């Protein structure tokens, strides 16, 4: 259920372009804008989590993951400590 209002200003040309695109898809202006902005927003957030590497860079990345450094004494102490919720 839509309960929030989003206000924005657009030029006459921008509005006409949006209306034409929405009509091509059989959507209202609101549906078109919300669908398009949701998709763009998801892509922005995915770009923060997904990254692409060429074969050489991926091989180097994978080598680092396959050969992690030896655990330090501090890490060993942390992993062997009794969790707060079990004390």
Q: Which of 27, 4, 38 is nearest to 18 (CA)?
A: 27
Write down the domain spans for the chain: 12-86
Tell me the pLDDT tens digit for each residue of 46-67: 888 777 899 999 999 999 999 9
Spatial distance between the Cα atoms of 29 and 9, rounded to a whole number of angstroms: 14
pLDDT in tens, 4-45: 999 999 999 999 999 999 999 999 999 999 999 999 999 999
Residues 6+ apart with CB under 8 A from 35: 27
**d(C-alpha 36, C-alpha 29), whole Å:** 10
């Amino acid at each position: 259920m839509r309960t929030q209002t989003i206000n924005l200003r657009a030029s006459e040309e921008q509005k006409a372009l949006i209306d034409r695109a929405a009509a091509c898809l059989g959507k209202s202006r609101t549906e078109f804008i919300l669908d398009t902005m949701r998709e763009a927003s998801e892509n922005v957030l995915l770009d923060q989590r997904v990254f692409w590497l060429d074969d050489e860079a991926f091989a180097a990345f994978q080598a680092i993951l396959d050969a992690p450094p030896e655990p330090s004494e501090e890490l060993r102490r942390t992993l062997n400590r009794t969790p707060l919720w079990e004390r």
